[in-house]
Structure 1
Amino acid sequence: MIELIVADRCTDCGACVEVCPTNVLERAPSGPPQLARVEDCQTCFMCELYCRADAIYVAPDCDRRVAITQETALASGRLGQYRQHSGWDEWAGQFPNEQWLMETVFRRAGEAAAGAAGADDKRTA
C-alpha cells in the first residue's frame, strides 16, 4: 500500500496521479500530490514505477498501512528499488523488465487459492 511521498524528492510532475488506476492520489495546489484515498490502493506499484524522482514508497503489504517516516524510507535504500529492479528508464540496460511474468504469477496464485478452497470444502463436508 502506498505509504508516503518524499516531498524533497518530488518534482511535481504528476505522473503518479495520472497512472494510478484507483485514484489514490490527487494533485495539490503546490507541492507533492496528496494521498487522498489510501484505502483504495491496490499495491500495484504503478506510481512507484512512473516516479523518476524515486520519491514514492509503496509497502508490499496490501492489507494494511505500514508506519514509516521519510527518514526511515530514505535510509532504507528502497526508494526507487522496484523501478530499478523492473528495468525502467535509466535501469533498462542493467535489469531486464520482466513485468510480463506477473501474469503467470497471478494465475498460479489463483490456482493455488482455488485448490486450497476446494480442499477446505472437502474437509468440512
Structure 2
Amino acid sequence: MIEIVDSARCTGCNICVRACPTNVFDAVQDAAPRIARQDDCQTCFMCELYCPEDALFVAPQIEPMPAGEGGKLGNTLFGHYRRAVGWGRARQSTANQDASYELLVRAH
C-alpha cells in the first residue's frame, strides 16, 4: 500500500498521479502529490516504479502502516521496487534473472 511521498525528493512531475490505475493521488500545484485515497491503493507498485526520483514508498502489505510508523523508515526503502527490478539511472535490469519462462516450457 502506498505509504509515503517524500516531499524533499519529489519534483512535482506528477508521473505517479498519471501512473496510478486507481486514482490514489491528488496533484498539488507547486508541491508533491497528496495521497488522497490510500484505501483505493492496490499495491501494484506502478507509482513507485515510474517515479524518476525514488520519492515514493509502497509497502508490500495491503493494510496501511500504523500512524507514525512511516517516519521510522530509512532512506533505503524509497524506490526499493525500482531497484529490485533494475529501473532507473545506473541500474542493471534483472529481467535476465527471471526463470519463470521455464515453467511454460515444462508445461508443454
Shorter-chain TM-score tier = 0.7 to 0.9
The answer for the alignment partner of 1:61 in structure 2 is 61
Match of 1:3 in 2: 3
SS in 2 for 1:18: helix
1:32 aligned partner, one-letter code: A
> What stretches of structure 2 of length at least 5 have no aligned partner?
101-108
Which range is displaced more, 75-84 or 11-20? 75-84
Structure with the greater alpha carbon radius of gyration: 1
Aligned CA RMSD, in angstroms, stands at 2.1
Number of residue-to-residue matches in the alignment: 97
Report the equivalent of 2:93. Answer: 95
Residue in structure 1 matched with residue 46 of structure 2 by the alignment: 46
- Structure with greater helix share of residues: 1
Q: Whole-Å Cα distance in 2 between the matches of residues 65 and 53 of structure 1?
A: 23
Question: Which TM-score applies when normalising by structure 1?
Answer: 0.69
* Greater relative contact order, per chain length (Cα 8 Å cut-off, separation 6+): 2
Unaligned runs of 5+ in 1: 103-125
Identity of matched residues, %? 41
Aligned residue in 1 for 2:104: none
Determine the structure 2 residue equivalent to 1:26.
26
